[in-house]
Amino acid sequence: MHPFVYLASQSPRRSQLLEQIGISHRLLVAQDDDPEPQDPEALELVLPRESATDYVQRVTGLKLDAAIARLQRRGLEQAPILCSDTTVSLGRHILGKPESQEQAREMLQALSGKTHRVLTAVALQSGRKRLTSLSVSSVEFAVMDSAQIDAYVASGEPMGKAGAYGVQGRAAAYIAKISGSYSGIMGLPVFETANVLRAAGFAI
């Protein structure tokens, strides 16, 4: 049995979801003075004709590789490393994190009145073994008028979030229906995460 897991994510929501299932964890995130081999933003670039499923699993694997290198470079205590990544897809179009308020507005206009998919991949490195899982949910947005979109963008909440919204925030007022994993839409599917942790020897 492992006493803790490293979480390679700065997301407070992912930390809270791990705490919810009683998993002790330590953060293993990039620091300003880290000689990271690749810019984290560059990891999130979509390849030509790449599906949302392939994309989110590939990016999660790359982020986990970077975290493993980080652990070795810092000479930290050995323990399993957990990584997760979430993406939003509308049809064949992948919606990442908006780079501006204007881009956030465009994403929300595209999602308004439609159903989209939220994919969250989970990867756990335990010794030489890599365990992975994928959660796919669908979210139906009510129609948002331009004033509602402007007010939501002005709140600042869309920035830094795939698809320009957070399910646990103000956007919930416009989410008509969810099918799948609520915690997966938040960024860490608890059921799938618990399964990979169990497979690695954690008691849950």
Confirm if 90 and 122 have CB atoms less than 8 A apart.
Answer: no
pLDDT per residue over 29-51, tens digit each? 987 666 665 665 677 888 888 99
Pairing of strands 93-95, 81-90: antiparallel
Q: Is the Cα dihedral 185, 151, 103, 40 positive or negative?
A: negative
Reference 117, options 98, 137, 95; nearest CA is: 137
pLDDT per residue over 109-119, tens digit each? 999 999 999 99
Q: Among 32, 34, 65, 85, which one carries the catalytic annotation? A: 85
When pLDDT is averaged across residues 73-82 and rounded to a whole number, the result is: 95
Instruction: Indicate the class that CATH gives domain 5-199.
Output: alpha beta
pLDDT per residue over 86-129, tens digit each? 999 999 999 999 999 999 999 999 999 999 999 999 999 999 99
Kindly report the pTM of this predicted structure. Answer: 0.92
pLDDT at 23: 96
Cα distance between residue 89 and residue 133, in whole Å: 18
85 carries an active-site annotation: yes
pLDDT at 39: 64
Share of the chain above pLDDT 70, in %: 95
